Amino acid sequence: MLGLRTTAARILVAAFVGTYALIATTGGPPGSLWYELTAWFIVSVAAIALIVVRGDPLPMLFTVALTASGVVAMNVILLAVHPPVSGLQLWPLSAVTAIYTYMCVRGRTTWAWIGMLAVLASYVLWAQRTGMGYVTGLQLSVINFAPLVTATFFGWTIRPAAQNIFALRRQTTVRAEAEAADAAVLDERDHRLTQLDELTRPLLERMAGYGSLTDDDRTAAGLLEAHLRDTLRAPTLTTPAISRAANRARSRGVEVVMLDDHGLDDVPADLRDQLLDRVLDTLAAADSGTVTIRVLPPRRQAVLTIVHRTPDTLSRLEFRVDGELIRRDSPIRATPHPEVFWHD
């Protein structure tokens, strides 16, 4: 939310990690390098998690981990630092303040305050234990409340407005998708009407001019009716090449039936072309009978079946989505019934 996964946010986190790496390796007391590096690693992972972890608000598991990270990093440094101290030796206090501030931005204000209070309690107890006193420890650390108060105000006021903005944006996107879908339907309808006009108008005008139907007109009308039926029942199979092959087969007296149950809708174009070539071969070879071509539903072992039935034979081919023939039934020739003669 609010650009925490943008390039600018990544640059900001990289600067955060680099800055505190420099402070951790140069500002600590003698003999504290491993403590410094441990604390730096903890706050760096926490900062990266703030922009990497998805979800708004932050998922609870990561929320608890980020809350604990500040307390652990602060106490690791307090184990190695003793008065008198310089301002940079207690650097985790400012680092964890930044982490808790952005936890408010990610919708976890209460947990950020829990972590901040635990860090300040650790600081005050450390000050008392080392002889600085509770009051001094509180005076040195209470200033870190200011950024958290600002972030809390942000979380209570700006976040709801931002959520409304994002909700409106999502609604706009959904509306745009719906309008695009409606436009696609209208475009498809217009395309179908134009195609229907181009196919039927010449024949209808010719029929109107003759006043009566000739045999050629009846044949042309039958072929056109079959083609229009194919475009409705088997849109995947009505490519220009297959439509021409089907018309030629029907002109030879072959009955062609094509059905499409959408098993090829999501198949890559090269594999689909291989299967359509099988259809072309069958239509080109057929000279009688009925050819039934069916695209099966998705997630079937076979995606295309071709059945060629003649008065004397029946053959069946089944193809997988990769074009491989998985079943081939040899033509079966019907056996004529023997004649039976009855004698008185």
Q: Kindly write down the DSSP assignment for every residue of 200-238, as one continuous string.
A: HHHHHHHHHHHSS--HHHHHHHHHHHHHHHHHHH-GGG-
Higher pLDDT, 307 or 197: 307
User: Helix count (H) and strand count (E) of the chain?
Assistant: 10, 5
* 313 CB-near residues (< 8 Å, 6+ apart): 289, 331, 332, 333, 334
Query: Is 164 strand, coil or helix?
Result: helix
* d(C-alpha 297, C-alpha 260), whole Å: 8
pLDDT at 333: 61
Choose from 1-15, 87-101, 241-255 the range with maximum mean pLDDT: 241-255
- Whether the Cβ atoms of residue 206 and residue 217 lie closer than 8 Å to each other: yes
Across the range 187-209, mean pLDDT stands at 75
Name the one residue in this structure whose structure tokens are 């081939």. Answer: 328
8 A C-beta contact, residue 200 and residue 224: yes
Structural tokens at position 322:
């990769």
| pLDDT at residue 219 greater than cutoff 50 | yes
Rounded Cα distance, 223 and 247, in Å? 6
Q: How far apart are CA 250 and CA 248, in angstroms?
A: 5
DSSP H helices, 106-214, are 109-129, 134-141, 145-210
Cα–Cα distance, 182 to 188 (Å, whole number): 10
Least confident range of 61-75, 281-295, 310-324, 327-341: 327-341
Q: Name the pTM for this structure.
A: 0.53
Within 13 Å and on the Cβ side, how many CA atoms surround 170? 6
- Sorted by where each begins, the domain ranges of the chain are 7-171, 236-344
At the second CATH level, the architecture of 236-344 is: 2-Layer Sandwich (3.30)
Mean pLDDT over 127-156 rounds to 85
Following CA atoms 109, 114, 118, 121 in sequence, which dihedral angle do they give, to the nearest 10 degrees?
Answer: 90
Q: What span, in angstroms and rounded, lies between the C-alpha atoms of 239 and 59?
A: 51
Tokens for 211, please give them.
């006043």
Orientation angle between helical segments 92-105 and 60-80, nearest 10 degrees: 170
What's residue 4's pLDDT?
A: 63
What is the per-residue pLDDT across 242-251, written as a single tens digit (0 to 9) for each?
A: 999 999 999 9
